[in-house]
Amino acid sequence: MTTRLKEFLTLGTIIVFLGVGIVLVCSPFIRDYGIESQIARAQTTFSENNLQSLTLDEPPVDFVIERPRLMDVLRQTINSDEPPVVGAISIPDVDVLLPIMDGLTNEHLLAGAATLTTKQEMGSSNYVLFGHHLTNSSLLFGPLLHVQPEMKIFITDKQAIYEFIITETNVISERDTQFLISTDEPALTLFTCDTSQPTTNRFMVRATLDSTYIYENESEKAIQFVQ
């Protein structure tokens, strides 16, 4: 093997390792950018369309929420299907503003908050939403860990705006299902991981319905959903 060929192979190896290193270093930023893009696309769908619940399959009983991987995010980012947006959630005190996706799937969790089951009815019984807690704690449901009792949460389907008051926050086991069951009075229950690292615990927020408004008649309250 000639000296020139050895130098070429050595240079090529160095370039490959540098490329792999750059990808590894940049992958969290690329992933976050992809998630931000999906949130923005879903928010546009919310802003520009009349919403209606879609006909989707129920998630399987043993459905497992997976941590978002770069390739999954990139694959979903180039997906041209319109996201199944059925509403939006706003928690002004912690700067949460997210689309609500119809049904709990790993794809839906990349674009906003996802309902436990499809066709959940806002303002009735226990409305359950899940969201990711990522290393970038400003994305998705990361800010949820800063909420406190008495703070307000607003959700809307563009027909009505439902104003909830937080009554409880707690860290519970992922196996604790008592907060998933139906309630006699309207309630809102939010779940996210208690840390951005792999965990078997969930941070839970429970809120009770305080007021209901007609969306078109409440411009001041509605504007927060389209900012």
**From CA 65, how far away is CA 72, in angstroms rounded?**
13
Collapsing DSSP to helix, strand or coil, 204 comes out as strand
pLDDT (tens digit per residue) in 101-150: 999 998 899 999 999 988 889 998 999 999 999 888 888 999 999 999 99
Tokens matching residue 84: 């199944």
Asked whether the predicted pLDDT for residue 19 surpasses 50, the reply is no
Q: Are 93 and 85 in contact (CB under 8 A)?
A: no
Mean pLDDT for the chain?
82
Q: Which residue has the tokens 């700067």?
A: 95
Question: Which of the residues are catalytic?
Answer: 132, 193
Q: Tell me which of 163 and 78 has the higher pLDDT.
A: 163
**pLDDT value at position 220?**
76
**From CA 117, how far away is CA 191, in angstroms rounded?**
14
**pLDDT value at position 52?**
60
β-bridge mates for residue 187, sequence order:
126, 208
**pLDDT value at position 1?**
53
Tokens matching residue 205: 């927020």
**From CA 154, how far away is CA 156, in angstroms rounded?**
7
Collapsing DSSP to helix, strand or coil, 139 comes out as coil
Asked whether the predicted pLDDT for residue 21 surpasses 50, the reply is no
Handedness of CA 176, 184, 192, 144 (dihedral sign): negative
pLDDT (tens digit per residue) in 38-51: 888 888 888 887 67
Domain boundaries, the chain: 3-225
- The model's pTM: 0.82
**pLDDT value at position 23?**
42
Mean pLDDT of 57-81: 66
Element (DSSP H or E) covering residue 136: none
CATH fit for domain 3-225, picks 3.30.450.20, 3.40.190.10, 2.40.260.10, 3.40.920.10: 2.40.260.10
**What single string gives the DSSP state of each residue in 162-200?**
EEEEEEEEEEEETT--GGGS--SS-EEEEEEESSSSS-S
